Amino acid sequence: MTGPATIDEICVVAVAEAFRGDGEILCNPIGTVPIIGGRLARATFEPDMAMTDAVSVLAANILPVGDPDAPRVVEAWMPYRDMFDIVWSGRRHVVMGASQIDATGNQNLAAIGGWRMPKAQLLGLRGAPGNLVNHVTTYWVPNHSTRSFVPRVDVVSGPGYERVADLSEAVRNNHEIRRVVSNLGVFDFSNAERRMQVRSTHPGVTIGQVVEATGFELVVPDDVPESRLPTDEELHLIREVIDPTGLRRAEFPS
């Protein structure tokens, strides 16, 4: 497979970039594009990160996605109970989805229309409350729109910066929303107000499109770069090694 990088591959690299500098922690992306991004980061610039096989072990080799029979080099047993120990140890960087996210980074995975009697029950709180107050989190939102980037989330599963501002020093020190990666661009909270800020837009996407698709006021710096393109080595790893069957494309509206 050859040809220029496509949007799914640019998103994979944007997720991988979120792990840069993490070192020897558990890289724990959830979802296809995030998993490919995590495995790409480990195969290139973050070789010390540990990753699960998405079942119950840490695998020392780079596994292809969607192939439960791929041979794995097991380096540790990781049943769910031990996963919570890692969460609470802080040595983890998770990538989760967000059905809704707001300007201060509050995430909703739980329900649309409030939690009492929701209009639509979604995944629930899952591990988000514990993740956010223990270790680094990145969000992956493949459908950037005013329905997902909202002024106020219906339920706070993962608390954003405003919600933790009054909590203990330990919680504030543990809490970091490293990036929000969407199909339009990459965002972070690297300003003093800790409000969502545009970090880069994907090639072919204008700031105007991003602002239009966002239901709150984004912080837009004067100079917004384009998200970086995958290198040739990265394209090879994505296309031939980590995702040879192209599962990454399924998360994008066609």
Partner 1 sequence: MTEDDVVARLESGMTIGIGGWGSRRKPMSLVRAIVRSDLADLTIVSYGGPDIGLLCATGKARKIVYGFVSLDSIPLEPHFRIARQTGAVDFMELDEGAFYLGLLAAAHRVPFYPTRAGMGSDMMAMNPELRTVTSPYDDAEEFVAIPAFRIDVSLIHMNRADAAGNGQFLGPDLYFDDLFAKAADATFMSCERVVPTENLLDEGTFHTLKIPRLFVDGVVEAPRGAHFTECPPDYGRDEAFQREYAATARDAEAWDAFRTRYLEAPDHEAYLAAVDGRGGAGTPS
Type of residue found at 104: T
Which range touches partner 1 (CB under 8 A), out of 18-26, 132-140, 184-192, 227-235? 132-140
Q: Is 128 in the site for partner 1 (CB under 8 A)?
A: yes
Site string for partner 1, 45-84 (x = CB under 8 A): ----------xxx---------------------xxx--x
Burial class (CB in 10 A: 0-12, 13-18, 19+), 47: exposed
Q: Is 223 in the site for partner 1 (CB under 8 A)?
A: no
Type of residue found at 170: A
Q: Is 110 in the site for partner 1 (CB under 8 A)?
A: yes
Choice between 91 and 126, CB closer to partner 1: 126
DSSP assignments along 165-207, one per residue? TTS-HHHHHH-EEEEEEESSEEEE--STT---EEEEE-TT--H
The least distance separating partner 1 from the CB of residue 52, rounded to whole angstroms, comes to 11
How far apart CA 14 and CA 27 sit, in angstroms, is 15
The least distance separating partner 1 from the CB of residue 93, rounded to whole angstroms, comes to 16
Tell me phi and psi for residue 30, to 5 degrees: -115, 125
Cβ atoms of residues 198 and 205 within 8 Å: no
Binding site for partner 1 (CB under 8 A): 55-57, 79-81, 84, 87-88, 110-111, 115-130, 132-134, 155-159, 163-164, 167-168, 170-171, 174
